[in-house]
Structure 1
Amino acid sequence: METSESGSTPKDRDIYPAFQDVNVLVIFGFGFLLAFTKRYGFSSTGFNLLIAALGVQWAMLVEGFLFSSAAEKVKISLHSVLKASISVTAVLISAGALLGKANPIQLIWMAMVEVAAFSTSRWINVKFLKVEEHTSLMHVHIFGTYFGLAVSWWLYHSSLSERVEKEKSNPISDLFSMLGTLFLWMFWPSFNSVLIVDLMEKRNAICNTYYAIAVSAVAAFALSSLSSRNGKIRMIHIHHAALAGGVALGFSAPIIPHPCIAMILGLLASMVAVLGSHCLQTYLNSVLKIHDTCGVHYTFGLPGLLGAIVHVILFIIIKRASLSSLGYLALIEVGSFMLTTAIGLGTGFITGFILTFKLWKTLPASKYFDDQAFWEFPHLAYGF
């Protein structure tokens, strides 16, 4: 292993501002987005930093070994750190599904397995299916969601069928979560465009992402008000739906030719997020026995699948001149995100089963969503 000399070249220095955008999104954005439960703020932000910092280091090693030839050393540069930061987003999304129900050791084990599984999935997509690297990294939303849901199925407890008191939010925790949403919203154009090399495609990705998240944010307010009996806006809908447009646009951001397409996609993604938040949570908890604490299924999973499907449709439209190979290429695009979903579900299911072993000292249900199980408080925390 060695530090790449390219780390001091103008190329790496040029991407540093966008790298910092992604870094803020990963550490600050996700850390506070998950801090919506009123008694789990320390753990939400603290454990997010723990698994992000550990996951980035592990992702650089795993991807270095997978994507370098046998004769090469694993080279570390700002570019590799950037790709690792995007990859570790899968773990942070999965952690949202397990929020309040897993201890730090379980989260660390999950992070190690998930990063290796996602990197392997990317390696298959890039090396064998010839999927572009940018597209393979945008699978992170789908992979993280379904990996996390599969793990959450194993950690389900009957007491979670109805929302417990400690799982609820209060005005302060909702405000912190909104702060995370705002940072994710501001820096999402950088996330969707940072690895794109072509200047015109990068410009398209930045602009189209902004169009999509702007529409999804406005639609989130309207749809939340319409879905409420008294016409009031629910903060949880804004947390989820304001970001859905950026998630859905990740695949297609550089190739969408008209702003109206990006805006329509943002609107559809916002609708999916609000309707999912309004309808699916009860269904998942009571029927499928999957407790998705942070609602990652309709914040990242369903908008991600919507974006993947739209990407295939746009790919067919753009490549329609190459009729001889169009069917094969479209099949490759469909197969890549289906393969990613399958690997996420499969490895998540195995990981969740392993996390049920007594060796991990799984939390009892009475300790769910409570910081006092892990953190020392400087006061008695009466009424906390």
Structure 2
Amino acid sequence: MPSRHRSFRCSVPWLVLLLQALLLLRSLLGFPRVSDTYSSFSSSYPVFQDVTHMVIFGFGFFLMVLRRYGFSSTGFNFLLVVLGVQCSVLAEDLLVFLKGEQNEVGMESLTKAVMSTTAVVISTGAVLGKANPVQLIVMTLVELIFFYVSRCINGTFLEVPDYLTMMHVYLFGAYFGLALASRFPEPPPGLDKNRSTPKSELFSVLGTVFVWVFWPSFNSILADSKEKAVLNTYLALAVSAVAAFMLSALTSKDGKFRMFKAAAPCPIPASPVRSPWCVLQAHIRSAVLAGGVAVSYSAQGIHHPWIAMILGLLASVITILGAHCVQRCLNPALKLQDTSGVHFTFGLPAVLGAVATVVLRVVEDGIETRWNELSSLGYTAFFNIGAFCQTISTALITGLITGLILNIKLLKAVHVSKYFDDQFYWEFPHLSVGF
């Protein structure tokens, strides 16, 4: 490795070894135990494989949008997932242990652990290319702990079903990542490494397709009515994909389909502390996934497929139009940095899905009671809205705190001139100079 690049030999290996030793020690103490009940293993494991493929392979390539950050996008994603799964199992075990119960590691707990790491993967997209491995590992530990705390609050105090508390993973990951990214210095005006190439875009599209294919498994694996969840998720994804192609052609100047919207000058004057380039705005790449996010909360509770289809359509519209508004108005005003667009890919559709769930629940309960029990309907709406607001608030507050922690000198923050560069972390023996 060139001398101008910092070595992580004295930090990353020892940090990973310490964490792995703590996890092994916890297992040696007998907590948690491996469950012996495998009655549904043959039916649950194929779906578990789908979720694993989606989180590791799909999201790993989905984040591969930067031309000089492909190794790190896929490699760090894999490291954080496999480390985060173990930390998630431990976090859930500790919460159960505090309640005075005995936790067992089975397919359900392992599935929840893999799904929880999705929050980490989404947050990583917001700080893509800016955080070093040490910062990412610390972020993983802190975020998973707070996500489990948020789930515990929703389930214990707000009486939200366990399935819905897990589906808040998109909402938590997106807004935790945005708050976290706001604490990182902005890249200098002359830095042009935060661009894509046809090759990096193609790999990102490949990851998008994998995420799209496996999303019905993700939304249905913990659902009681799995068949209904798969059907509604697929229909929402299909409609959002069709709408993405339609809106891409309508909103592009030349009337062509656009998988990515190339970086363009921001509408505000450049300043010494603000880059004159906006980050990539995705069209089809992000909008085709919006339906899966929006329908995730209510996938098993939607009795009429047309409702899921409308949700998919609205999610695609919000993603594409929201991307334009967020990039042009909100991001410059709030100084938000969102490298891979997690806000309009996951955050905004998740908000739509959470609001839609409250409306559908109130309407369904109102029809059943003939609208005679208004106090009961208000109670239901209040607790569902409370869970939604609590998740966003916890994500934003803890994200800001984590961002401040990650920028202390001990964690060796990356200099802004080294943003979005694989050579800062990986060896390229066949390259004598940059590439």
TM-score tier by shorter-chain length is over 0.9
1:342 to 393, 413, 416: 393
Distance 1:229 1:113, change over 3 A: same
* Higher radius of gyration, 1 or 2: 2
Distance 1:279 1:72 in 2: 48
> C-alpha displacement at 1:68, in angstroms?
4.7
Residue 155 of structure 1: aligned partner: 184
Distance 1:375 1:2 in 2: 36
Residue 35 of structure 2: aligned partner: 5
Percent identity between matched residues is 53
| 1:228 counterpart letter in structure 2 | S
Residue 116 of structure 1: aligned partner: 145
Distance 1:127 1:381, change over 3 A: farther
Residue 224 of structure 1: aligned partner: 248
Q: Does structure 1 retain, via aligned residues, the 8 Å contact 2:96–2:102?
A: no
Residue 375 of structure 1: aligned partner: 426
Q: Does structure 2 retain, via aligned residues, the 8 Å contact 1:90–1:141?
A: yes
2:408 to 357, 362, 365: 357
Question: What do residues 165-210 of structure 1 show as CA deviations (whole Å, max 9, x unaligned)?
Answer: 211111110010001000000000011110013xxx2211100100
> C-alpha displacement at 1:276, in angstroms?
2.2
> C-alpha displacement at 1:4, in angstroms?
2.9
Distance 1:356 1:262 in 2: 42
Distance 1:49 1:58 in 2: 14
Matches within 5 A, 1:211-290: 211-236=235-260, 237-290=283-336
Question: What do residues 131-184 of structure 1 show as CA deviations (whole Å, max 9, x unaligned)?
Answer: 111110010011001100001000031626x9x421111111001000100000
Residue 169 of structure 1: aligned partner: 196
2:221 to 182, 191, 194: 194
Q: Does structure 2 retain, via aligned residues, the 8 Å contact 1:156–1:291?
A: no
3-state DSSP of counterpart to 1:88: helix
Distance 1:22 1:180 in 2: 13
Matches within 5 A, 1:96-111: 96-111=125-140
Which structure is higher in helix share? 1
| 1:63 counterpart letter in structure 2 | E
> C-alpha displacement at 1:374, in angstroms?
0.3
Distance 2:88 2:35 in 1: 20
Distance 1:46 1:253, change over 3 A: same
Residue ranges of structure 2 left out of the alignment (5+ in a row): 1-30, 261-282
> Are 1:311 and 2:338 matched, yes or no?
no
1:133 to 162, 178, 184: 162
1:48 to 67, 73, 77: 77
> Are 1:298 and 2:344 matched, yes or no?
yes
Distance 1:70 1:221 in 2: 50
3-state DSSP of counterpart to 2:49: helix
Distance 1:118 1:159, change over 3 A: same
> C-alpha displacement at 1:284, in angstroms?
4.0
Residue 60 of structure 1: aligned partner: 89
Distance 1:182 1:204 in 2: 22
3-state DSSP of counterpart to 1:16: helix
> Which contiguous aligned blocks of 4+ residues in structure 1 show a shift greater than 4 angstroms?
none
Distance 1:133 1:242 in 2: 27
Distance 1:287 1:196 in 2: 40
State TM-score, norm by structure 2.
0.84
3-state DSSP of counterpart to 1:290: coil
> Are 1:184 and 2:211 matched, yes or no?
yes
Distance 1:347 1:315 in 2: 29
Question: How many residues are matched?
Answer: 378
Distance 1:303 1:76 in 2: 32
Q: Does structure 2 retain, via aligned residues, the 8 Å contact 1:31–1:48?
A: yes
Deviates more, 1:60-69 or 1:353-362: 60-69
State TM-score, norm by structure 1.
0.95
Distance 2:83 2:338 in 1: 24
Q: CA RMSD in A?
A: 1.5
Matches within 5 A, 1:73-92: 73-92=102-121
Distance 1:79 1:209 in 2: 21
Question: What do residues 302-354 of structure 1 show as CA deviations (whole Å, max 9, x unaligned)?
Answer: 00000000000000011113424111111001100110100000100100011
2:228 to 178, 197, 204: 204
> Are 1:25 and 2:25 matched, yes or no?
no
> C-alpha displacement at 1:69, in angstroms?
5.8
Deviates more, 1:323-332 or 1:214-223: 323-332
> C-alpha displacement at 1:77, in angstroms?
1.2
Q: Does structure 2 retain, via aligned residues, the 8 Å contact 1:284–1:291?
A: no
Distance 1:283 1:319, change over 3 A: same
Residue ranges of structure 1 left out of the alignment (5+ in a row): none
